[in-house]
């Protein structure tokens, strides 16, 4: 088993944990809506992670183009479920509280803004980390 295969296996386990966590935090909704939320949310997170990876990989000179593609796919496989746990679980919890009438929409709006600002900071930190991670894996 190669290192990349092992990392992908671990990332699959993280993805399963992510789905379970998000599903649990959206318990105010019907199962169908929870699954739709997980799928659409995960695709959006994957898209953001892909953008960060492509920006950070641009300009890196490698002898084997397949190596950088493998590294980027591993990074996407790791960071997409981690980011999903961070953002989708938290947002799902807030949306559920609004639906159940536990918090007002004004309070929820403030919480969502705070969550998005924190997520933006996490993405900035990740962007720096991903650049270093690419160098380490290719080095």
Q: Which residues of 52-71 are buried (b: 16+ CB within 10 A; e: fewer)?
A: bbeebbeeeeeeeeeebebb
Q: What is the pLDDT of residue 1?
A: 60
Task: Read off the pLDDT of each residue in 20-33 and give the average, rounded to a whole number.
Answer: 91
Look at the chain and report how many structural domains it folds into.
1
Which residue segment(s) compose the domain that 81 sits in?
3-138
pLDDT in tens, 84-130: 998 999 999 999 899 888 899 899 999 999 999 998 898 888 888 88
- Nearest Cα neighbor of 81 from 57, 56, 46 is 46
Q: What is the pLDDT of residue 32?
A: 94
- Give dist(CA 92, CA 89) in Å, integer: 5
pTM of the model: 0.85
């Amino acid at each position: 088993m190669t290192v990349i295969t092992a990392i992908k296996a671990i990332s699959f386990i993280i993805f399963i944990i992510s789905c379970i966590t998000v599903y649990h935090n959206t318990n105010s909704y019907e199962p169908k809506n929870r699954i739709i939320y997980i799928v659409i949310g995960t695709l959006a997170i994957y898209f953001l992670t892909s953008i960060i990876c492509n920006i950070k990989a641009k300009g890196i000179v490698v002898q084997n183009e397949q190596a950088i593609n493998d590294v980027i796919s591993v990074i996407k496989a790791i960071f997409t479920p981690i980011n999903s746990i961070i953002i989708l679980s938290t947002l799902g919890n807030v949306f559920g509280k609004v639906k159940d009438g536990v918090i007002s929409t004004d309070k929820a709006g403030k919480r969502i803004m705070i969550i998005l600002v924190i997520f933006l900071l996490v993405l900035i930190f990740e962007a720096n980390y991903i650049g270093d991670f690419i160098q380490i894996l290719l080095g």
